[in-house]
Chains A and B, each alone.
Chain A
Amino acid sequence: MRVLPSGSAALLVEVADLDAVLALHAALEADRPPGVVDLVPAARTVLLVVDPEVTSLDAVEAALRRVTPRPGGRADAGLVELPVVYDGADLADVAAHLGVAPEEVVARHADTEWTVAFSGFAPGFGYLTPAGGGWDVPRRPSPRTRVPAGAVAVAGGFTGVYPRESPGGWQLVGRTDVAVFDLARDPAALLRPGVRVRFVPC
């Protein structure tokens, strides 16, 4: 565990891999140090956002070093099934990266159970990790300026669903009509950390 400086109101903790991130994040969620107003888990890091009026970075770092990570400590947050039309513009490129036929990419994507590891990029954008692995596909060399809402994409070992139209650099494999972020729904985000996801071809 490496604690990296992030100014006067945050600490960035770098760990070995995503499993270590989730274990540390679970422990911090269960026993959040006083004055920590937000936790931002990502692929290899957890950012602790601190209210400098309540506590000091030194106190937070001391508390952090007393935390015992909880491997596998995240509760199952239920299963979501997302109907997908697998007609993404990057299916052929993804297939080439993985050395299989496009139909095989679709079959694997739909046969895999995915779990939301963390969120970022945009409200409701979850980073989903596969049970197993085998999805190490790079981002597009140059991001698209416009990816439509509902686009299902893969990159860097993750899959995700674009909550709204935005720029994006992931490889597009399909699309869903389900709104993954909807303020009229409670909770607004469908793909919250811990939610398991099945993509159903339609």
Chain B
Amino acid sequence: MLTVLAPGPLTTVQDRGRPGLAGIGVGRSGAADRAAAELANRLVGNAPGAAVLEATLGGLAVRADADLLVVTTGARCPGSPVHTAPGPLRAGATLALGTPPAGLRTYLAVRGGFAVAPVLGSRSTDVLAGLGPPVLRAGDVLPVGGDAGPFPAVDLAPGADPPGGEVTVRLLPGPRADWLTAAAREALAGPWTVTAESNRVGLRLTGPRLERAVDAELPSEGLVRGAVQVPPAGQPVLFLADAPVTGGYPVAGYVDDADVDRCAQLRPGQTLRLRR
């Protein structure tokens, strides 16, 4: 078991989410930076779908109640001696994440996975739908599962930390690009500034107002993470892990699925460019 001493600004339990439940209006959810979560699991020998903790802007402090093998990935926090390099957290020892200098979300995996009760087949907290394990609070005790595979051959994963400053990702066509004026389609490339209203549902971006060529009401239609939606105010939303199943505003573009994880590491104030 592992006890939460402090959750920081927001820590949730996440796995690979709830695919296949759109029929009852339930979205996918899951880790916002899927690659970082999967790397964490791999480094402690877990299955890729094991549940991990997703800390937002650090601040998470935990105490081991048994000898555990742990690792952190994603945003590199001061205070983690096990970042991308798994190591023991002995019974009674604590791990306290400071604030990362860059990046937003840090994943903490424990060998065996966090065995909190699943909801509709997943241990992911969906902050939009209000589904899944509750957001972590100080004093929570999290059970650790016993389901881990062989120890991994690698015990260190080199890789770039999430950057600060300006980030550029690939933009692909969306279904309703023609609802924007030609000038607005050009302007979609940015630069955009990530605002403080952003969360696991999506990045709310601010920049030049995108004018619409079509003023009609769009019947709601399905979307997935990566969708760049343009509400009437002309400031786009880039949907992330807890995207709704359907949306009623035109989706003008999509960030390449392989690049969406990087978007989930952007913090308010950072600049995002969308390159065609």
Q: Contact residues of A with B, CB < 8 Å?
A: 4-10, 12, 14, 37-47, 49, 52, 118-126, 139, 156, 164, 181, 183, 187-189, 192-193
Contact = CB atoms under 8 A, between A and B. Distances in A.
A5 B176 CA distance: 9
A126 B175 CA distance: 24
B140 interface: no
Interface stretch (B55-63, B183-191, B208-216, B221-229): B221-229
B246 A7 contact: no
Interface in B227-256: 227, 244-246, 251, 253-256
Interface residues of B, number: 38
Contacts of A45: 219, 221-222
A121 B222 CA distance: 10
Contact of B174 (A5, A42, A44): A5
B175 A38 contact: no
Contacts of A9: 224, 226, 257
B115 interface: no
Contact of B23 (A8, A52, A119, A183): A119
B64 to A, nearest CB: 31
B19 A123 contact: no
Given A7-B257, A164-B130, A47 B222 contact: yes
The 5 A-B pairs of least Cβ separation, nearest first, read A7-B254, A47-B222, A40-B222, A4-B175, A120-B246
Interface in B81-133: 119-120, 129-131
A39 B246 CA distance: 11
Given A44-B219, A120-B220, A6 B254 contact: yes
Contacts, number: 126
B28 interface: yes
B166 to A, nearest CB: 22
A95 to B, nearest CB: 22
Given A37-B20, A40-B245, A7 B25 contact: no
Nearest to B177: A5
Nearest to B226: A7
Nearest to A4: B175
Contacts of A193: 23
B19 A38 contact: yes
A121 B220 contact: yes
The residue in A6, A45, A118 that gathers the most chain B C-beta atoms within 10 A of its C-beta is A6
A42 B25 contact: no
Contacts of A119: 22-25, 245
A193 B172 CA distance: 32
A123 B220 contact: no
Contact of A38 (B22, B119, B172): B22
B256 to A, nearest CB: 5
B98 to A, nearest CB: 35
B44 interface: no
B255 to A, nearest CB: 7
B119 A7 contact: no
Contacts of A42: 219-222, 246
A39 B21 CA distance: 9
Interface string B154-186: 000000000000000000111110000000000
A120 B25 contact: yes
A40 B224 CA distance: 10
B258 interface: yes
B26 interface: yes
23 contacts: A6-B174, A6-B227, A7-B256, A8-B254, A9-B224, A9-B226, A10-B224, A38-B20, A39-B23, A42-B220, A46-B222, A47-B221, A47-B222, A47-B224, A49-B22, A118-B23, A120-B22, A123-B129, A126-B25, A139-B217, A164-B130, A183-B120, A183-B131
A16 to B, nearest CB: 13
Contacts of B222: 10, 12, 40-42, 45-47, 49, 120
